[in-house]
A = this chain, B = another copy of it.
Amino acid sequence: MRPSKRDELVQNALTIFYREGFHAAGMDLLSAETGISKTTMFKHFRSKEDLILAVLKLRDEQFRTWLFSRMEEAETPKGQLLALFDALGEWFAEPEFRSCMFIKAASEYPDPAHPIHAQAAEHKRLLFGQVEKITAQAGADDPAALARMLLLLKEGAIVTAHLGHEKDPAKDAKAAAAALLSGLPG
Contact with B along A17-33 (1 / 0, CB 8 A): 01111011000000000
Q: Which residue of chain B has its CB nearest to the CB of A124? A: B164
Cβ-defined contact, A120 with B163, below 8 A = yes
Q: Which residues of B contact A107 (CB under 8 A)?
A: 21, 99, 103-104, 107-108
Q: A19-B110, A110-B98, A163-B121 in contact; A169/B148 too (CB < 8 A)? A: yes
A175 within 8 A of B: yes
**Complex interface: chain B residues within 8 A of A102 (CB):** 163
Beta-carbon contacts of A135-173 to B below 8 Å, as 1s and 0s?
000000000010011011111110110111110010011
Interface core residue of A110, A128, A145 (most chain B CB under 10 Å)? A110
Contact at A165–B99, with CB atoms within 8 Å? no
In the complex, the count of this chain's copies comes to: 2
**Contact, CB under 8 Å: A157 / B163:** no
Listed residue (A160, A163, A166, A173) with the most chain B CB atoms within 10 angstroms of its CB = A163
The B-contacting residues of A in range 25-67, CB under 8 angstroms, are none
Does A106 lie at the interface of the complex (its beta carbon under 8 Å from any beta carbon of B)? yes
Interchain CB contact under 8 A, A145 and B172: yes
B110 contacts A106, CB within 8 Å? no
Given A103-B107, A176-B180, A157-B166 contact (CB < 8 Å) = no
